[in-house]
Chain A
Amino acid sequence: MNPGIVSNLWLLPSVPFAAAILTLSLGKSRRKSAVVLAIGGQIIVLAISIAALIPTLQTHGFQAVQNFTWFTFGEQTLRLGFVLDPLAAAMLVMISLVALCIFVFSVGYMAADKNFTRFFAYLSFFSGAMLGVVIANSLLLLFMFWELVGLASYLLIGFWIERPSAAAAAKKAFITTRIGDMGFFLGMLWLYNRSGTLLFYDGGRGCLESAGLALLGASATFIALLIFCGAVGKSGQFPLHVWLPDAMEGPTPVSALIHAATMVAAGVFLVARVYPLFSLGAINGVTSSLTVVVWIGVTTALMAALIAIAQADIKRILAYSTVSQLGLMMVSLGVGGVAAGIMHLLAHGFFKALLFLGSGSVIHGCHGEQDIRKMGGLRRLMPVTFATYAIGMMALSGVPLFFSGGWTKEEILHATRHWPPSSAPYYLMLAGVVLTALYMSRQMIYVFFGNRRDAAEHAHESPRVMTMPLIVLATGTVFLSVVLTTAWPWLHGYLKDEPVQFDIAHLIQPMLFTSLLLVGAGIALGIWFYREAGVQNRDRPAEVDPLEYAQPALFRFLANKMWIDELYARTIIAFAWASARLSDWMDRYFWDGLVRGFGTIGQLFGMFTGNLDERGINAGVDETTVGARGLGRLLSSAHSGQIQIYLGVVAVGMLALLLLYAWLA
């Protein structure tokens, strides 16, 4: 165990926070120093993350914690801490590397924005908070950073605050995730109530260690489900997924960093982190809480993939694909494939950031146009973007062998296949794979192939500062597949702490063929179906989607996001409105009436006592004062102010006394 690095982990959140504060205090005009601060801070963070990765590579089952007392309250001490284990280290490197690429990309993408420095300050702030989530060794500390991450997300979604839609989306994201966080918070309180500690690992006494878990008993299921609520909110799982597509109102680098690669993965990470709570008392790897996770994941994955097919906004398609992939990760965690889920999370971080940055590059090239039906033929105009986007697309679709997403998806399918309670998730996941390949092919064809439509006429390749991060991320996506192959599942072994051997024979597995077949089918279907997308064909106008032409009702259902937003508007929001109105009415007429009634009683009493006072008591007092005043006036007339009169009175008095004396003597 190397205590050195874990005692320095506090630097990870602190450095970006310091950069953010410094950037904000420097002011709007210091663009260059904002960039230097943000990217410099990110490079330091990346260096620390790599330094943290090294000891976890050297020692098997590495786990180092550093706990400290936050405050003491009577007998209770509240302790927080940091933890470093393979899960945290892998996340750290992924987050800091992806964040660095996105920071660099933002320099180009946000170049014309007037709030350039504020943007970088927020990005740094987000990065610090996210790293804090990963290294927290206390559910409370994790929750604090979790909320900071939510705040950063809110600030960045609403970055273009002058757009009402951005402000609304920011509010929606914040409120929707807050619903989940409420559950998280309750779960945390419950956990503290039962186990008396919120530290994950504390030399055997932590809440995730056997002694702590033994205290939980049957409540573990409820605690796990409550904590899962937080993950559902943050990771955009059904039924709280509605905020994530709207979050695309933020600048594209934000969508890439927060709403694709890192923050939304925090929910998956949280489930992985507190996995012992979920799997406590598992029979055959199945618990009721994990079953809930599986079904939520399956629903989300399939629903989002279906909706993605009918979207026209380039970023919304990717947003739904993110929701879908997060669902996939949840399924993987639920069926017991924790390592597979986290591997997919890491791989997804790279290729989804790549896709989002690629879409940012496309939007930048098309002068802010986001509708894929107005693009087309960008392949030749934006070659670098096209090449890197294609790599991302194939990784997301799960093309095997050379793309990281293929391997991790296979691993997930493999884990899902043997889930004892039901084989339905497995087949639904297979359908999801086909759908993913289908909607990604559709997007590729619309954006990069076919004829050039309005927005693509004057498109241009993005500057180097934007294409370089794309190339780095694409390289990462391909390179990551080396440590993911079934022949040498290094990452799997690293996360699960198992030795790995190189065995080429494992490369050829039935799952590989299943996967190849399904992805091939999806892509082929996409190419065949959308071959004439955006082109006039028989009696179908050019701007009508082929699916819309073939199945108008289905398309409308999907394009309107299955009317889930409308459903919420009609039920939950309508209920909230109605109860607000009722409360308003109650307040205005019932409670107010009651208060006014009491007020009237008081008023009447006041009138009565007033009269009594006026007529009865006052009259007596008045008489007294009149008498006193008259007496005062009389007496004051003696005080003429004439000093000689006083003197005369004194003299007369003296004389009178003398006469009295004389008379008496």
Chain B
Amino acid sequence: MTPTLQLFLIVSAALFSIGLLAALSRRHAIFILIGIEMMLAAANLNFIAFWRFAPAPHPPTGVMIAIFSIAISAAEAAVGLAMVITVYRHFRTTNVDQYDQLKG
């Protein structure tokens, strides 16, 4: 079975869907963050796949974007975790159901 673009895209879509499901359904703030990270990873996989299967010659644009994206997602994870800790200190819980002060 030769690796094709479709295969990569299917894996990427699956990864994205799992991440989305995690972000939407988990109640724990950190799991939501993990879900978001999974969605980002799916996007990165897409970049790499499209770059790899693009017609030659290929400058390393897809790889560069993926590297940047990983760096940014690392920073985002740090910020996200810091926020989770701050929010936890405020509400004494990590359960996002109880973060309802924005309720209209």
Contact = CB atoms under 8 A, between A and B. Distances in A.
A644 B24 contact: yes
B96 A643 contact: yes
Contacts of A647: 23-24
Nearest to A633: B104
A637 B104 CA distance: 6
B102 A639 contact: yes
Contacts of A638: 104
A651 interface: yes
B23 A642 contact: no
A641 B100 CA distance: 4
A640 B101 CA distance: 9
Interface string B72-104: 000000000000000000000000110111111
A644 B23 contact: yes
Contacts of B104: 635-641
Interface string A534-576: 0000000000000000000000000000000000000000000
B20 interface: yes
Contact of B20 (A635, A640, A642, A651): A651
Contacts of B32: 644
A640 B103 contact: yes
Interface in B1-37: 20, 23-25, 32
Contact of A644 (B96, B102, B103): B96
B88 to A, nearest CB: 14
B24 A639 contact: no
Contacts of B96: 642-644
B101 A641 contact: yes
Nearest to B21: A651
B55 to A, nearest CB: 23
Interface residues of A, number: 13
Given A635-B104, A636-B104, A641 B24 contact: no
Interface in A597-654: 635-644, 647-648, 651
B99 A643 contact: yes
A253 B10 CA distance: 121
A641 B20 contact: no
In this complex, the interface size class of chain B, counting residues with CB under 8 Å from chain A, is 10 to 19
B23 to A, nearest CB: 6
Nearest to B100: A641
A641 B103 contact: yes
Contacts of B102: 639, 641
A180 B20 CA distance: 103
A641 B103 CA distance: 4
B31 to A, nearest CB: 11
B69 to A, nearest CB: 19
A656 to B, nearest CB: 14
Given A635-B104, A636-B104, A641 B99 contact: yes
Contacts of B101: 641
A642 B104 CA distance: 11
Interface in B26-66: 32
A651 B97 contact: no
Interface in A66-89: none
A376 B25 CA distance: 122
Nearest to A638: B104
A642 B32 CA distance: 13
A647 B99 CA distance: 14
Contacts of B23: 644, 647
Contacts of A643: 96, 99
A443 B95 CA distance: 111
A643 B103 CA distance: 10
Contacts of B24: 644, 647-648, 651
Contacts of A636: 104
A639 to B, nearest CB: 3
B42 to A, nearest CB: 13
A537 B102 CA distance: 113
A636 B103 CA distance: 8
Contacts of A642: 96-97, 99-100
Contacts of A648: 24
Given A644-B23, A647-B24, A651-B20, A639 B103 contact: yes
A552 to B, nearest CB: 103
A576 B77 CA distance: 93
B61 to A, nearest CB: 24
A643 B94 CA distance: 13
A640 B100 CA distance: 7
Nearest to B102: A641
Nearest to B35: A647
Contacts of B100: 640-642
A643 B95 CA distance: 11
A643 B102 CA distance: 9
Contacts of A637: 104
A653 to B, nearest CB: 13
Interface centre among A639, A640, A643 (most CB of B within 10 A): A643
Nearest to B25: A644
B81 to A, nearest CB: 16
Which residue of B24, B25, B101 has the most chain A CB atoms within 10 A of its CB atom? B24
A484 B8 CA distance: 140
Nearest to B17: A651
A284 to B, nearest CB: 107
Nearest to A632: B104
A134 B96 CA distance: 95
A648 B96 CA distance: 14
B14 to A, nearest CB: 15
Contacts of B97: 642
Nearest to B96: A643
13 contacts: A636-B104, A640-B103, A640-B104, A641-B101, A641-B103, A642-B97, A643-B96, A643-B99, A644-B24, A644-B32, A644-B96, A648-B24, A651-B24
Interface of A: 635-644, 647-648, 651
Given A639-B102, A641-B104, A643-B96, 20 more contacts: A635-B104, A636-B104, A638-B104, A639-B103, A640-B103, A641-B100, A641-B102, A641-B103, A642-B96, A642-B97, A642-B99, A642-B100, A643-B99, A644-B23, A644-B24, A644-B32, A644-B96, A647-B23, A647-B24, A648-B24
Query: 4 closest A-B pairs (Cβ-Cβ)?
Result: A639-B104, A636-B104, A641-B103, A641-B100
